[in-house]
Structure 1
Amino acid sequence: MVVKNVSSEDLDEIFRLYNIASNYQKSKKTVVVWPDFDLEMVTTEINERRQFKLLIDEDIACIWAITFSDEQIWQERNKDAAIYIHRIATNPEFRGHNFVGTIVEWAKGLAEKYKKQFIRLDTIGDNSRLINHYCNCGFSFLGMFDLPNVDELPPHYKQGPVCLFEIDLK
């Protein structure tokens, strides 16, 4: 397994994996389903080297994005030194490999490099299976919160409370 930055040549595969993830969410009848994500947002993440892929034998097994600031979601806690992980999408050919755990280990190295204390992520809605999965990967579940302003966030943030998770590396 190798983690690399995504390139613009990977755009079709990124959106294919997002679509598969959305369809999977629909099939599981989850409360919140990912929308069609904005091409400009993803392209910006690629250009800023904040979109990543996990490769297994040259195949993209998983993708995700990061940021070092997430004020609309984390509000006052955004002042903390943190890495925020977004939109983990797994290639269905590689399901069951606990890529969240792999991403956590990768993020710990990144956190050390950039002197960050926290690794954080969020999800929308009351999905007990996903909440348990993230907790089993080392995250603490901080609770469910209503966000006061979701205007600049992707549309699925308007569909329910946000669940916040973090790993404190101190």
Structure 2
Amino acid sequence: MEIKNCLTTDINEIMSIYEAARNLQIQRKMVVWPFFDETFILKEIKENRQWKIVIDNLIACNWAITFEDKEIWGEKDKNDSIYIHRICTNPTLRGNRYIDEIVRWSKPYAKQMGKRFIRLDTLGNNTKLIEHYTSAGFNFLGMVKLTDTANLPAHYQKEPNCCLFEIDLQNEM
């Protein structure tokens, strides 16, 4: 298993994994991600913000990161965090708890970037995801109602209730 930045040549595989995630979200009657335009994903790749776990030359899991997220985190966004978005698992490899690998990777990465927090969010009152993220070491900070969603992907505009999670690296010392 290896964690590394995605490459532009990964775009078809990433788009396929996103499609599988949307299908699972529909099947489970969850908040469904919109179709993400290839140019949006390619921009993240070129900015080294798309990451992947590779097993046997296959993308097992991928995610994106940002360094600011004011629309979701508001006043808590103080240039002291990495924000993890769109964790997505290859459908043939679901159930392997790649979140644990992401957390192990993100702690030294965030420290190297001079950040104190690792944060993520999920929409709606998804109790399974709340349990999943807290079991991986995230603190569940509660649910907030998003009010400024105009610049966020479409699924944030359909479901304003957002669960917030963080790992405070100051408590990890």
Instruction: Report the TM-score when normalising by structure 1.
Output: 0.96
Q: Map Cα deviations across residues 131-170 of structure 1 (whole Å, 9 max, x no partner).
A: 1100101011111111111111100001221111000111
Match of 1:26 in 2: 26
The offset of 1:28, in angstroms, is: 1.1
Mapping for residues 14-93 of structure 1, pairs under 5 Å: 14-30=14-30, 32-93=31-92
Return the alpha-carbon distance in structure 1 between the equivalents of residues 37 and 151 of structure 2: 12
Match of 1:166 in 2: 166
SS of structure 2 residue aligned to 1:79 = coil
SS of structure 2 residue aligned to 1:152 = coil
Match of 2:94 in 1: 95
Which consecutive aligned stretches of 4+ in structure 1 deviate over 2 angstroms post-superposition? Answer: none
Return the alpha-carbon distance in structure 1 between the equivalents of residues 37 and 154 of structure 2: 10
Unmatched tracts of structure 2, length 5 or more: none
| Number of residues of Structure 1 aligned to a counterpart in Structure 2 | 169
Return the alpha-carbon distance in structure 2 between the equivalents of residues 65 and 132 of structure 1: 21
Match of 1:105 in 2: 104
Instruction: Report the TM-score when normalising by structure 2.
Output: 0.95
The offset of 1:44, in angstroms, is: 1.1
Q: Map Cα deviations across residues 63-93 of structure 1 (whole Å, 9 max, x no partner).
A: 0000111111111010151110000000011
Identity of aligned pairs, percent? 50
Match of 2:124 in 1: 125
Return the alpha-carbon distance in structure 2 between the equivalents of residues 80 and 48 of structure 1: 17
RMSD: 0.9
